């Protein structure tokens, strides 16, 4: 319905003109950072897309071999800088896996609160900037207004808005300050109308649907083959979320919480009656579904934050004890993936008995999600390239590391 | 399926390619001979009981101690180790594959070690192997697009090698 390239009025498929190489980025607004795409086009149709990455490569893994595990936490902030809390969590839990640390319930509750707030803020940026990519300015303002409030909450808890370094191996750097939970609940109480506004201006907007439905359709098989994870995988109808299906160590963090994994199974979403309807034009695995999965996950995360606040109130004592800056790591290797907002973020740490890891590895979800972009864009229109790239919700800090 | 059963399943017909394992490790791993990697990977992906349909991560580790005093004390042989993290979305099990390579092919400094690419088995591998080539200096034979990915194409050396020395300048830009 949307890429009407079979309609002769719009695109003349039979007329072949000279091939043209178009360079898009690295300073293009809809590449969300410093991604460069080289498009090979014939008229309006894209025949090949070659992504070039590495413009934001800062040798994060090499730096990890020269600082202690605790000292590397601030570097994880700068991977997915739109969800620093989730990056901190992934690294902290990987180091804890190597050390064999178990955490008190209070630390787990604080971590769930922060991880889910991070997910909400990341998905808000995704939805807002996706609107910008497609020429709609209003949702960006709605989304960023609410995100500011989440960043205020982060600032109240740890002093930083973006580069939090709050969740560290062994626990969190400080307990929540007095009044924080009430401030957080006040945010959640007033937040739902904004989600409805976003649904009104994007989800069910006729122009938005025409730009995204049936554009960049990713089949479940291709998604798995390319290692796509997170909303990109679930948007293709694969019911998979590490919060439910991950390793025991990570799954335990969410044990006892009620939440749905948002993925269209047989074309239907769980509890679909509570959410905006799926338009007829949308096909499972297209850009619209990837966007929609994120928007519904925001609602799930709100519920998770409320449940975690309840748990937090039932506990006392300190939220864990952060490891020492010069903590020695035992010999061994540990790899752990967590469900970050953009997909499964994996960290690996290899200890050699000293305080500095022998090797540090960050497996980026966006890296794999971007690698499928050439498949999605091939044969589509030039104008659909931003629609597809935006729907993957990329952050180049995480891809280039 | 736990790591022991996965190892038994591969070992039934392909035991010759399995050169080591540690099932008691934090993440249990199986070591595969470089030449047998594609065959073992195909078994892992295709056998109904295994169905490892997702390759999460390919990465390399350089075991080399440039400091001579420390090198005398280490309890391992110098090598480059490749690590493949696999899981099955069908059966919800996971395994780690390892491949040991010499640091340099034939012991000649500067000659990159070689291993068959698995990009034809999981498409994820295409970009991950490019990254390992770029940063760790391992050549993947049969790779569809063997270019650097994060560093510029004319970059010299492989930064994650333990004996890597960064250049003092790159096209007139001070590096150190």
Mean of the per-residue pLDDT values of chain B = 89
Q: Which of B59, B122, B151 sits opposite A361 (nearest CB)?
A: B59
pLDDT of residue B65: 87
Task: Please list the residues that pair with B115 across neighbouring strands.
Answer: B140
Q: Which of A59, A97, A240 sits opposite B26 (nearest CB)?
A: A97
Pairing relationship of beta strands B114-116 and B139-141 according to DSSP bridges: parallel
Question: Are B59 and A363 in contact (CB < 8 Å)?
Answer: yes
B22: left (phi over 0), alpha (psi -120 to 50) or beta: beta
Question: Are A335 and B92 in contact (CB < 8 Å)?
Answer: no
Q: Check CB contact of B27 with chain A, cutoff 8 Å.
A: yes
Average pLDDT across each block of 10 residues of chain A; the chain has 401 residues. List them in order: 51 67 79 84 87 90 92 92 92 93 90 94 92 88 92 92 91 90 92 88 88 90 92 92 90 90 84 82 90 92 93 87 89 92 93 91 92 90 89 90 87
pLDDT of residue A15: 61
pLDDT of residue A280: 85
Under 8 Å between Cβ of B31 and B21: yes
pLDDT of residue B80: 92
Q: Which domains does chain B have, with CATH numbers?
A: 3-174 (3.30.460.80)
Residue B5: count other Cβ atoms within 10 Å of its Cβ. 11
Residue A203: count other Cβ atoms within 10 Å of its Cβ. 24
| Beta-strand runs (E) in B10-68 | 18-22, 29-32, 54-63
Contacts made by residues A202-207, CB under 8 angstroms, sequence distance 24+: A202/A127, A202/A130, A202/A131, A202/A136, A202/A139, A202/A291, A203/A276, A203/A291, A203/A292, A203/A295, A204/A276, A204/A277, A204/A279, A205/A136, A207/A134, A207/A136
Of the CA atoms within 13 Å of residue B16, those in its CB half-sphere come to 4
Q: Indicate the DSSP class of residue A177.
A: P
Residue of B nearest to A222 (CA): B123
The contacts of residue B4 (CB under 8 Å, 6+ apart) are B23
Nearest-5° angle of CA A240, CA A347, CA B127?
A: 75
Question: Are A348 and B124 in contact (CB < 8 Å)?
Answer: no
Residue of A nearest to B90 (CA): A240
Phi, psi for A361 (deg, rounded to 5)? -135, 135
* Spatial distance between the Cα atoms of A19 and B20, rounded to a whole number of angstroms: 52
The pTM score is: 0.88
* Spatial distance between the Cα atoms of B158 and B161, rounded to a whole number of angstroms: 6
What is the signed CA dihedral for B101, B106, B107, B112, rounded to 10 degrees? -60
Q: Place domain A60-400 in its CATH homologous superfamily.
A: Cytochrome-c3 Hydrogenase, chain B (1.10.645.10)
pLDDT of residue A89: 94
Q: Indicate the DSSP class of residue A330.
A: P
Mutate to test the interface with A, among B45, B124, B143 (most CBs of A within 10 A): B124
Mutate to test the interface with A, among B24, B42, B59, B132 (most CBs of A within 10 A): B59
* Spatial distance between the Cα atoms of A66 and A358, rounded to a whole number of angstroms: 9
pLDDT of residue A335: 94
pLDDT of residue A5: 54
Give B111 to chain A, closest Cα distance, Å. Answer: 22
pLDDT of residue A1: 43
* Spatial distance between the Cα atoms of B93 and A247, rounded to a whole number of angstroms: 9
| DSSP-derived secondary structure for A222-277 | HHHHTT--THHHHHTT----HHHHS-HHHHGGGTT--------BTTB-TTGGGSPP
Q: Check CB contact of A276 with chain B, cutoff 8 Å.
A: no
Residue in B69, B63, B2, B61 with CA at minimum distance from that of residue B30:
B2
* Spatial distance between the Cα atoms of A393 and A293, rounded to a whole number of angstroms: 12
* Spatial distance between the Cα atoms of B97 and A347, rounded to a whole number of angstroms: 16
* Spatial distance between the Cα atoms of A104 and A106, rounded to a whole number of angstroms: 5
Task: Please list the residues that pair with A348 across neighbouring strands.
Answer: A335, A361
Residues B42-99 have pLDDT tens digits of 988 988 888 899 999 999 999 988 888 888 888 888 899 999 999 999 888 889 999 9
Q: Check CB contact of B61 with chain A, cutoff 8 Å.
A: yes
What ipTM was assigned to the predicted interfaces of this complex? 0.88
Question: Are A335 and B27 in contact (CB < 8 Å)?
Answer: yes
A247: chain B residues, CB-CB within 8 Å: 94
Under 8 Å between Cβ of A17 and A24: no
Question: Are B151 and A368 in contact (CB < 8 Å)?
Answer: no
């Amino acid at each position: 319905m949307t890429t009407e390239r079979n309609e002769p009025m719009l695109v003349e498929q039979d007329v072949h003109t000279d091939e043209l190489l178009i360079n898009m980025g690295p300073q293009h607004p809809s590449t969300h950072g410093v991604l460069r795409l080289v498009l090979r086009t014939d008229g309006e149709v894209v025949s090949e897309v070659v992504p070039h990455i590495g413009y934001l490569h800062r040798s994060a893994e090499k730096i990890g071999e020269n600082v202690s595990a605790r000292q590397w936490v601030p570097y994880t902030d700068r991977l997915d800088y739109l969800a620093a809390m989730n990056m901190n969590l992934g690294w902290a839990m990987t180091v804890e896996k190597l050390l064999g640390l178990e955490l008190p319930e209070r630390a787990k509750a604080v971590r769930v609160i922060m991880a889910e707030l991070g997910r909400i803020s990341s998905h808000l940026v995704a939805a807002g900037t996706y609107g910008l990519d497609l020429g709609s300015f209003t949702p960006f303002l709605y989304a960023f207004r609410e995100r500011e409030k989440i960043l205020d909450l982060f600032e109240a808890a740890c002093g930083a808005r973006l580069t939090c370094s709050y969740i560290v191996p062994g626990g969190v750097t400080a307990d929540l300050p007095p009044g924080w939970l009430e401030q957080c609940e006040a945010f959640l109480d007033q937040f739902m109308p904004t989600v409805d506004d976003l649904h009104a201006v994007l989800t069910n907007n006729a122009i938005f649907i025409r730009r995204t439905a049936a554009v960049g359709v990713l089949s479940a098989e291709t998604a798995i083959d390319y290692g796509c994870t997170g909303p990109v995988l679930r948007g293709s109808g694969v019911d998979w979320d590490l919060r439910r299906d991950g390793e025991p160590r990570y799954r335990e963090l969410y044990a006892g919480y009620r939440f749905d994994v948002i993925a269209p199974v047989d074309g239907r979403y769980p509890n679909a009656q509570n959410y905006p309807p799926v338009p007829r034009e949308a096909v499972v695995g297209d850009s619209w579904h990837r966007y929609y999965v994120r928007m519904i996950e925001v609602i799930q995360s709100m519920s998770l934050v409320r449940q975690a606040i309840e748990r937090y109130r039932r506990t006392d004592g300190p939220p864990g004890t952060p490891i020492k800056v010069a903590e020695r790591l035992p010999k061994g290797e540990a790899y752990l993936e967590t469900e970050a907002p953009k997909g499964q973020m994996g960290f690996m740490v290899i200890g050699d008995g000293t305080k500095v890891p022998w090797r540090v590895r960050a497996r980026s979800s966006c890296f794999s999600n971007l690698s499928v972009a050439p498949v999605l864009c091939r044969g589509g229109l030039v104008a659909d390239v931003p629609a597809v790239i935006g729907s993957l919700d990329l952050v180049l800090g995480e891809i280039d590391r | 399926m736990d790591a022991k059963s996965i190892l038994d399943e591969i070992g039934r017909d392909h035991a010759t390619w399995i050169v080591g394992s540690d099932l008691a490790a934090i993440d249990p791993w199986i070591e595969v001979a470089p030449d047998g990697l594609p065959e073992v990977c195909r078994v892992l992906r295709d056998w109904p009981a295994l169905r490892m349909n997702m390759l999460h991560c390919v990465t390399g580790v350089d075991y080399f101690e440039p400091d001579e005093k420390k090198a005398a004390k280490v309890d391992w042989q110098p090598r480059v180790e490749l690590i493949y993290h696999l899981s099955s979305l069908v059966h919800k099990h996971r395994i780690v594959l390892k491949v040991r390579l010499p640091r340099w092919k034939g012991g000649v400094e500067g000659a990159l070690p070689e291993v068959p690419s698995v990009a034809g088995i999981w498409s994820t591998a295409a970009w991950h192997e490019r990254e390992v080539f770029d940063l760790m200096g391992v050549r993947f034979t049969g790779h569809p697009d063997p270019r650097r990915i994060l560093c510029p194409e004319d970059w010299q050396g492989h930064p994650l090698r333990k004996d890597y020395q960064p250049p003092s300048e790159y096209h007139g830009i001070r590096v150190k």
